[in-house]
A and B are shown apart, each in its own frame.
Chain A
Amino acid sequence: MQDMAIHPVDWLVILPVVLPLLGAALLLMLREAKEAQYWMALGTVAVLLLGDIALATRIAEQGPVSMTMGNWLPPFGISFTADLVGAVFALAAAGVTLLVLVYLRLDMPDRARRDGVYPLVLLLLAGVSGSFLTGDLFNLYVWFEVMLIASLGLMVLGGRNSQLDATVKYGFLNFFATTIFLLSLGLTYGTLGTLNMADIVAKAPAADPAVMASIAALLLLAFGMKAAAFPVNAWLPASYHAPPAAVSALMAGLLTKVGVYALLRAMTMLLPASREVLEPVLVVVALGTLILGPLGAIAETNLRRALGFLVIGGIGATVTGIALNNEAGLAGAATYVLHAMLTITGLYLVAGLIEAMTGETDTRRMGGLYAAASLPSVLFFVLMLAVAGVPPFLGFWPKLLLVEGGIAGWAPNWDGWALALWVGVLVNALLTLIAGSRLWGHIFWRAGHESAENEAPNPDLRRLDRRATWLGLAPTAVLTLAVFLLGVWPEPLLGFGKQAAAGLLQSADYVAATGVAGGEP
């Protein structure tokens, strides 16, 4: 036991979890007051955003911070350790949630609002922030379950048949993934006697490499399922199109990214030796995800299912960075996660507007939107280019870093894996561009429905009223603006990527912040 007073920065580390949890509990009690509920949810997330900014600034200046519940001496007790990757991801998650909350006002049926959509969104955000900031593997499992429960709730709100069907698939596979995660936790504790991440970094090199490799393989399976990476990706396109657009934007923007983050943390920082054993698997997973994602998007005619396949393609790009495991590659993976959070959420929000205006979910029966609503078409076009990685926008820089990392891994000794990876990233960019421009052409450019006489104007277009236009377009426009600004002024982004990669590769700062191995806490 130590008798140190609680440092203010300890509060900052735990605030992103405590605040939304308290908010969710409070909002649940205020279920009848619909207006107050909305503004309180917005206020909670706004305060949380400020807290995240303070935390990220502090970490960027002074390195990782850590606190352990109940002032236990680590590795005992549950540690919350925030390094730059986690803090910046948590910040982006809070920002995205704030914008989606604005949009949610437009998108949700009244019944869903009474059934507690705002508390569930806050609960989801608590789970996401907790996963990004926790320094304990078992605690990560708990946050995964918090996210799973909140997302199950969000998914069934509204209660249409297709939503329940999607929830069944989503639930089964994610439940199974967390069970696998739990199994690997058991193995980890049995082998190392600890679940504190910093302590694992210190103890893993001394353990039996075969056991550590099987732990890493189980973690790869569990997190790969959460992230919807290649052989275990089928649940994502089968479920993300069913709930209201705002909910699927939130889930597509945040949940798979948590899986990728956990993979990044586990493979690169916790078990680097086992990552090398698993490298061929990671390469195959990355390549399969890179290629199959956009191919699925090309073949798909349901708009939001096609976007789901684009999400999967992006997961491939981040797994590429993990497979490369050099500074440029990891910087690419970390910046790609940020980029995907902003861009994919934006795309889903525009998709919601498109579905509201055309009254359809099938791209074959959309068309003619360019003439009817030019602003959404511009937003969709910009975001689509950003997903593909076309230069003036945000998506370009992560992909550039990944290609750079691939060449850096390939050049010294003609490493065939690295060559395959950076060619894969380029092919992914090309296929994504084809898929995205095809979607854009079908929805906006073509005058009417797909048919022999598709020059006939689409008769089913609806105009949105003034309020809907504002509430719907403002959040999307903010996201698109961020995508554009970070694209033309990438210095902060690249700086973050570099620092994040360095922090993941040299975990000494992280371990020192936690204060394990007899160090002064």
Chain B
Amino acid sequence: MELVISLSIGVLAGSGIWLLLRPRSFQVIIGLSLISYAVNLFIFSTGRLKSDAAPILETGRDIATYADPVPQALVLTAIVIGFAMTALFLVVLLASRGLTGTDHVDGRER
């Protein structure tokens, strides 16, 4: 599971950075989204990867068999904020596309 998670974080971050360096605003926003997905997965994995483990404590059981609930809460917050930012930013980009007639990040073709 560790390998799968790290590979997917790596692929997401790599493609995100590649797209971030492109000149079209749509590519850049998708790149930013991919990077934030990678970061979200990374935060999720900082609670250590466990399957079949509940985050709710019961008395009398070993604490090592529990999942850490904090990264899950963190990542949920980060996902919501990232989603809102992307949506808001898409509106700005659409307005910019409509006004300038191009989707180049500089607002004009080179």
Say whether A and B bind each other: yes
Chain B residues with CB under 8 Å of A148's CB are 85
Residue from A148, A152, A168, A171 with most neighbouring chain B CB atoms (10 Å): A168
A301 to B107, CA, bound (A): 21
Q: Which of B34-42, B50-58, B59-67 contacts A (4 or more CB under 8 A)?
A: B34-42
| Contact A175 B95, CB 8 Å, known A149-B85, A168-B107 | no
What 1/0 flags go to A125-160 for Cβ under 8 Å of B?
000000000000010011001001100100010010
Chain A residues with CB under 8 Å of B46's CB are 186-187, 189-190
CB distance from A91 to the nearest CB of B (A): 28
Docked-complex contact A185 and B43, CB < 8 angstroms: yes
Docked-complex contact B92 and A179, CB < 8 angstroms: no
What 1/0 flags go to B64-96 for Cβ under 8 Å of A?
000000110010011001101100110011011
A175 to B74, CA, bound (A): 18
| Contact A156 B39, CB 8 Å, known A149-B84, A164-B100 | no
Docked-complex contact B39 and A165, CB < 8 angstroms: no
Docked-complex contact A142 and B89, CB < 8 angstroms: no
Chain B residues with CB under 8 Å of A66's CB are none
CB distance from B98 to the nearest CB of A (A): 9
Which of A161, A168, A175 sits near B25, CB closer than 8 Å? A168
Docked-complex contact A176 and B43, CB < 8 angstroms: no
Chain A residues with CB under 8 Å of B71's CB are 186, 189
Chain B residues with CB under 8 Å of A159's CB are 95, 99
- Contact residues, A359-417 vs B (CB, 8 A): none
CB distance from A127 to the nearest CB of B (A): 12
- Chain B contact-residue range equals 20 to 34
Docked-complex contact B85 and A145, CB < 8 angstroms: yes
Docked-complex contact B42 and A186, CB < 8 angstroms: yes
Docked-complex contact A165 and B107, CB < 8 angstroms: yes
Chain B residues with CB under 8 Å of A152's CB are 88-89, 92
Q: Is A167 an interface residue (CB 8 A)?
A: yes
Docked-complex contact B42 and A183, CB < 8 angstroms: yes
| Contact A182 B99, CB 8 Å, known A156-B92, A168-B92 | no
A161 to B100, CA, bound (A): 7
What residue of chain A has the Cβ atom nearest to residue B77's Cβ? A142
A142 to B76, CA, bound (A): 12
Beyond known contacts A182-B78, A185-B43, A189-B43: 6 more, CB 8 A cutoff = A145-B81, A168-B92, A168-B93, A176-B32, A189-B46, A189-B71
Interface residues of B (CB under 8 A from A): 20, 25, 28, 32, 35-36, 39, 42-43, 45-47, 70-71, 74, 77-78, 81-82, 84-85, 88-89, 92-93, 95-96, 99-100, 105-107
| A to B CB contacts below 8 Å, 9 in the list | A142-B77, A148-B85, A159-B99, A164-B107, A165-B107, A167-B92, A168-B107, A186-B39, A190-B46
Nearest 8 Cβ contacts at the A-B interface: A190-B46, A186-B43, A165-B107, A164-B96, A183-B39, A186-B42, A186-B46, A145-B81
